[in-house]
């Protein structure tokens, strides 16, 4: 009977040991006890109670911690006090521990920094991954980490809930990485698994177009198994709502302590950015996974939480910003204020039409439970690169204006009680369509980009933010069209010899406004460069200063202080004739009624004293009667515009027919257009005519071409064809080119245009 009881007790202890040995996040499995025979009930009952208490302790029961060891298995973030002699900083940072009964193993990231010299920063002396061994007895913990040449020995205690360790540490000297130390303080905080649903936001802080805009982010993350290494994998998917630089993306990275690094992959598999970076990298900084009052939060602030490698529509190659992502919570990263809508787009309307209005509502979301004081608004209207002060190039008036009932007086700080709102009214009264300067090199926009976006930004400044970026921007955009609209924004010409003139290309203007518009008459004398230099054109043009339609060269320079530009009229110094010649002009001097059109023809006739390399890139100037405070009818605000660009190819015997440019018009996004054809002809009349050997064509943009030219020889008088299709990948204007390469080092360009819808 005694032996039977002992055997059963041994089996009970084995079962108990198996329960208490389950660590590293594995589910505990309670083994059933063997049947107990009658007799010796007192001894059996005592043994049963002892075994039960042990099982309860291992399963999180209420028995005393003295009955077993605490649990240190998991991810820990360490903090180590610097020695009083300041011989080093840092030490163990983050890593994972495994536990087997009282034995502890694992790995940790460490970084040993030498103190900063005057005027400098601390320098890395030693760093990497260190193995850990140790023991736990009850709540007493001893850990030893061999960090390169330096050894850290930590002793301390584990809190009752197994979430905090703290105590003192000793360290050996590290071959120049600090002196030996004893009795220094250390602590470690348990970091929960980064697994579950994610919801929060990304706050752009770099890209000039997107700065201070807030974009919702959602998704799921999953942390890999703890294998006692210095880090664990983290994978998942994230969706950036409304953010043009990122959309649906997968992430793959690691967590060590509370530092997280996640690479962001686009659907095509390309690495397009990252969340966080290793310590020591300043762009971006690591993001941290911490327990906040609202729950577990993945956060990165100071503008370095997320970086992207590309950002369409912006002026930079990428973007960075702050991030706050709540784990399993919809409120832990919620912002204290809400702006609705998050952006405003006004429908396109005619220049100088009646204002249209849209409203933005600013609300204290009430998450703080108190009033928000110190709120403020700022409004920044802009009108393209040529209007840094947010006013029209032509009349000095803003395209957008702002009024609100938030602050009194306007522009002062104000408060909002929880759930209280105020309204901001944005009015749009367009003052221009195209910019005053047509050359991108001079800060303007080419005619093909017109109507170019008119933009403004409404920014609400909050005293607090979930991600420490306290500015919340609402982008405002619109477009406007002038009364007179050209049939095409660009005419493209192939090469011509000095003795030749191209076939004319037809250009028309239509009055899309509701009132007649007076196009100024042509000059009585030809457009000739005066001997003293360039001509000066006031901004805006005064009536009668220049002809109604003329061609100006690309040498157009602004004089901001006097609101004028210097320009060269297209007139050859020897022949006194233009390179782009206007004929059949029934526009100049015409009072154009609403919905009426006028037309002209333009030919390319290169002149003897005009340098033709690089290729000519000129602009057609259209002058209409200028609207002023006293001239209010038959006029335009933006009188004196450059609505059509004129391009030619460099000298060559290779001619293009019907033109050197193809316009595919509007095409549904993702659908391929019908083909258009350009014929290439080797002109035997060209002074430099010779057999042309084609070496290849390079196509750029959302276009594709097939031809019977490449690899062939084209004798004088012979021709070949190039067929082109357009498949827009995005909505809006698309441009492209085909570079035709032939003989040795020579090229010609076919210009391509289309609009995705």
Q: How far apart are CA 657 and CA 650, in angstroms?
A: 16
Instruction: Tell me what the pLDDT averaged over the chain comes to.
Output: 84
> Does residue 406 sit in the same domain as residue 351?
yes
For 710-741, write each residue's pLDDT tens digit: 999 999 999 999 999 999 988 888 899 999 99
Q: Are 272 and 250 in contact (CB under 8 A)?
A: no
Say whether both 214 and 308 belong to one domain: yes
Q: Which domain CATH number covers 218?
A: 2.40.128
- pLDDT of amino acid 384: 44
Residue with the larger pLDDT of the pair 620 and 68: 620
Most confidently predicted of 45-49, 92-96, 709-713: 92-96
Does residue 489 carry a pLDDT above 60?
yes
Asked if residue 565 belongs to a domain, the reply is yes
> Do 428 and 528 lie in a common domain?
no
Cβ-based neighbour number of residue 380 at 10 Å = 14
Query: What pLDDT score was predicted for residue 14?
Result: 39
At 573-602, the pLDDT tens digits run 888 889 999 999 999 999 999 999 999 999
Q: Indicate the helix (H) or strand (E) that contains 361.
A: strand 356-364
Min mean pLDDT across 167-171, 520-524, 628-632, 748-752 is at 520-524
Between the alpha carbon of residue 155 and those of residues 162, 183, 269, the distances in Å are 15, 10, 46
Higher-pLDDT residue of 639, 385 = 639
Q: Give mean pLDDT, residues 182-210.
A: 92
- Please classify residue 724 by burial: count the beta carbons closer than 10 Å to its beta carbon, then call 0-12 exposed, 13-18 middle and 19+ buried: buried
60: Cβ contacts below 8 Å, ≥ 6 apart: none
CA distance 472 to 214: 7
pLDDT at 86 over 60: yes
pLDDT of 15 above 70: no
Instruction: Please give the pLDDT value at position 131.
Output: 97
In degrees and rounded to multiples of 5, residue 45 shows phi and psi of -65, -40
pLDDT at 60: 35
The answer on pLDDT for 196 being more than 70 is: yes
Asked which of 22, 43, 67 is the last residue of a domain, the reply is: 67
| pLDDT > 80? residue 314 | no
Q: What is the CATH number of the domain that holds 98?
A: 2.40.128.120
- Confidence at residue 563, expressed as pLDDT on a 0 to 100 scale: 60
Does 387 have pLDDT greater than 60?
Answer: no
Tokens encoding 527: 């457009």
Residue 9 inside a domain? The answer is: yes
Could you tell me if residue 496 is inside a domain? yes
User: Is residue 616 assigned to a domain?
Assistant: yes
**Which tens digits make up the pLDDT trace of 678-688?**
999 999 999 98
Stretch 458-482: mean pLDDT? 93
What Cα–Cα distance (Å) separates residue 532 from each residue in 122, 453, 529, 557, 610? 63, 38, 8, 17, 18
CA 224 to chain centre: 30
Query: What's the Rg (C-alpha) of the chain?
Result: 37
**Stretch 178-196: mean pLDDT:** 94
- Residue 18 clears pLDDT 70, i.e. is over it: no
pLDDT recorded at residue 473: 96
The CATH number that applies at residue 378 is: 2.60.40.2310
- Say how many domains are in the chain: 6
Where among 14, 46, 67 does a domain terminate? 67
Domain match, 536 and 565 both: yes
Q: CA distances (Å), 273 to each of 261, 309, 693, in order? A: 11, 5, 44
- 550 and 672 fall within a common domain: no
Same domain flag for 180 and 266: no
Q: Give the pLDDT band of residue 58 (cuts 50, 70, 90).
A: very low
User: Is the overall model pTM greater than 0.85, yes or no?
Assistant: no
Structure tokens at 373: 């004081």
Both 701 and 607 in one domain: the answer is no
* Helix ranges restricted to H, 38-138: 41-58
**Co-location of 545 and 659 in the same domain:** no
Residue 200 pLDDT greater than 60, yes or no:
yes
| Cα gap 31→22, rounded to integer Å | 12
Q: Answer whether residue 83 is part of any domain.
A: yes
pLDDT at 355: 94
Q: In terms of domains, do 497 and 617 share one?
A: yes
Cα(745)–Cα(569) distance, integer angstroms: 32
List the CATH number of the domain containing 748.
Answer: 2.60.40.10
- Which stretch of 163-172, 447-456, 491-500 has the lowest confidence by average pLDDT? 447-456
Burial of 687 (0-12, 13-18, 19+ CB in 10 A): exposed
Does pLDDT of 264 surpass 60? yes
| Residue 646 forms part of a structural domain | yes
User: Are residues 343 and 428 located together in one domain of the fold?
Assistant: yes
| pLDDT surpasses 90 at 626 | no
Angle at alpha carbon of residue 678, lines to 673 and 680, rounded to 5° = 155
Rounded CA separation 435/452 (Å): 8
The more confident residue out of 302 and 18 is: 302
pLDDT band at 347 (very low <50, low <70, confident <90, very high): very high
Q: How many CA atoms lie within 13 A of 107 on its CB side?
A: 12
Among candidate residues 651, 669, 701, the one where a domain is terminated: 651
Residue 333 falls inside a structural domain:
no
Q: Rounded to a whole number, what is the largest CA-CA distance in the chain?
A: 131
Tell whether the model's pLDDT for residue 165 goes beyond 80: yes
Angstrom distance (rounded) from CA 662 to CA 102: 78
Q: Is residue 332 part of a domain?
A: no
Helix (H) or strand (E) holding 13: helix 2-20
Structure-model confidence comparison of residues 436 and 477, the more confident one: 477
Kindly report which listed range (209-218, 310-319, 404-413, 493-502) carries the lowest average pLDDT score: 310-319
Can you read off the two tokens belonging to residue 578? 């233009």
The predicted model gives 426-452 an average pLDDT of 85
The whole-angstrom separation of Cα 129 and Cα 693 is 62
pLDDT digits (tens, 9 = 90+) for 596-620: 999 999 999 999 999 999 999 999 9
For residue 100 the two structure tokens come to 């087997």
510 and 642 both lie in a single domain: yes
10's enclosing H/E stretch is: helix 2-20
Are 551 and 525 members of one domain?
yes
Whether the per-residue pLDDT at 51 is higher than 90: the answer is: no
| 245-262 residue pLDDT tens | 888 899 999 999 999 999
Q: pLDDT tens across 106-149, in order? A: 999 999 988 877 777 788 888 899 999 999 999 999 999 999 88
Q: Which domain holds residue 663?
A: 652-757
Taken as a whole, the chain contains a residue count of 757
């Amino acid at each position: 009977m005694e032996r039977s009881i002992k055997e059963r007790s041994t089996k009970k202890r084995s079962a108990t040991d198996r329960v208490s040995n389950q660590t590293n996040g594995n589910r505990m499995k309670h083994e059933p006890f063997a049947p107990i025979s009658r007799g010796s009930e007192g001894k059996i009952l005592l043994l049963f109670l002892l075994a039960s208490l042990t099982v309860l302790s291992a399963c999180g029961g209420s028995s005393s911690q003295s009955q077993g060891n605490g649990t240190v298995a998991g991810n820990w973030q360490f903090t180590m006090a610097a020695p009083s002699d300041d011989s080093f900083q840092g030490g163990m940072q983050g890593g994972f521990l495994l536990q087997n009964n009282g034995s502890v193993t694992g790995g940790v990231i460490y970084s040993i920094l030498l103190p900063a010299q005057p005027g400098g920063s601390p320098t890395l002396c030693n760093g990497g991954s260190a193995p850990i061994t140790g023991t736990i007895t009850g709540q007493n913990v001893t850990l030893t980490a061999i960090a390169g040449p330096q050894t850290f020995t930590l002793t301390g205690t584990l809190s009752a809930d197994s979430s905090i360790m703290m105590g003192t540490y000793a360290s050996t000297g590290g071959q120049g990485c600090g002196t030996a130390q004893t009795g220094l303080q250390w602590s470690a905080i348990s970091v929960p698994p980064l697994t579950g649903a994610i919801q929060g936001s990304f706050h752009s802080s770099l890209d000039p177009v997107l700065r201070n805009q807030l974009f919702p982010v959602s998704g799921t993350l999953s942390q890999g198994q703890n294998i006692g290494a210095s880090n664990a994998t983290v994978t998942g998917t994230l969706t950036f709502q409304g953010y043009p630089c990122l959309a649906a993306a997968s992430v793959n990275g690691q967590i060590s302590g509370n530092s997280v690094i996640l690479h962001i992959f686009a659907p095509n598999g390309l690495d397009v950015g990252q969340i966080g970076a290793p310590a020591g990298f300043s762009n971006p900084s690591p993001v941290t996974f911490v327990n906040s009052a609202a729950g577990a939060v993945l956060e990165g602030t100071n503008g370095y939480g997320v970086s992207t490698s590309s950002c369409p529509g912006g002026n930079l190659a990428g973007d960075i910003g702050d991030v706050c992502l709540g784990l399993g919570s919809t409120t832990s990263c919620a912002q204290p204020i809400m702006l609705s809508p998050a952006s405003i787009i006004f429908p396109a309307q005619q220049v100088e039409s009646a204002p249209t209005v849209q409203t933005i509502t600013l609300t204290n979301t009430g998450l703080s439970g108190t009033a928000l004081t110190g709120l403020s608004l700022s409004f920044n209207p802009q009108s393209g690169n040529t209007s840094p002060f947010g006013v029209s190039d032509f009349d000095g008036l803003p395209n957008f204006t702002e009024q609100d009932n938030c602050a009194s007086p306007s522009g002062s700080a104000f408060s909002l009680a929880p759930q209280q709102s105020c309204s901001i009214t944005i009015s749009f009264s367009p003052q221009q369509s195209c910019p005053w300067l047509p050359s991108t090199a001079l800060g303007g926009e080419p005619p093909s980009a017109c109507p170019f976006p008119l933009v403004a930004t409404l920014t609400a400044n909050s005293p607090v933010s979930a991600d420490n970026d306290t500015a919340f921007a609402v982008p405002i955009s619109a477009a406007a069209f002038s009364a007179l609209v050209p049939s095409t924004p660009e005419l493209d010409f192939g090469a011509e010899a000095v003795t030749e003139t191209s076939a004319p290309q037809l250009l028309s203007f239509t009055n899309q406004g509701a009132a007649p518009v007076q196009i100024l008459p042509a000059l009585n004398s030809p457009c000739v460069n005066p001997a003293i230099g360039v001509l000066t054109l006031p901004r805006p043009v005064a009536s009668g200063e220049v002809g109604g339609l003329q061609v100006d060269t690309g040498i157009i320079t602004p004089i901001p202080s006097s609101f004028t530009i210097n320009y060269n009229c297209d007139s050859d110094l020897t022949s006194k004739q233009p390179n782009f010649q206007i004929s059949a002009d029934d526009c100049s001097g015409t009072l154009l009624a609403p919905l009426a059109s006028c037309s002209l023809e333009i030919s390319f006739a290169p002149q003897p004293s005009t340098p033709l390399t690089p290729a000519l890139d000129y602009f057609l100037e259209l002058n209409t009667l200028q609207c002023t405070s006293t001239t209010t009818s038959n006029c335009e605000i933006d009188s004196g515009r450059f609505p059509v660009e004129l391009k030619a190819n460099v000298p060559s015997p290779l001619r293009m027919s019907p033109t050197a440019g193809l316009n595919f018009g509007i095409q549904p996004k993702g659908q391929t257009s019908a083909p258009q054809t350009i014929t290439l002809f080797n002109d035997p009349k060209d002074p430099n005519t010779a057999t042309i050997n084609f070496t290849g064509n390079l196509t750029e943009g959302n276009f594709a071409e097939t031809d019977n030219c490449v690899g062939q020889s084209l004798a004088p008088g012979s021709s070949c064809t190039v067929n082109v299709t357009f498949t827009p990948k995005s909505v809006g204007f698309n441009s492209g080119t085909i570079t035709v390469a032939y003989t040795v080092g020579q090229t010609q360009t076919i210009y391509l245009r289309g609009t995705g819808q």
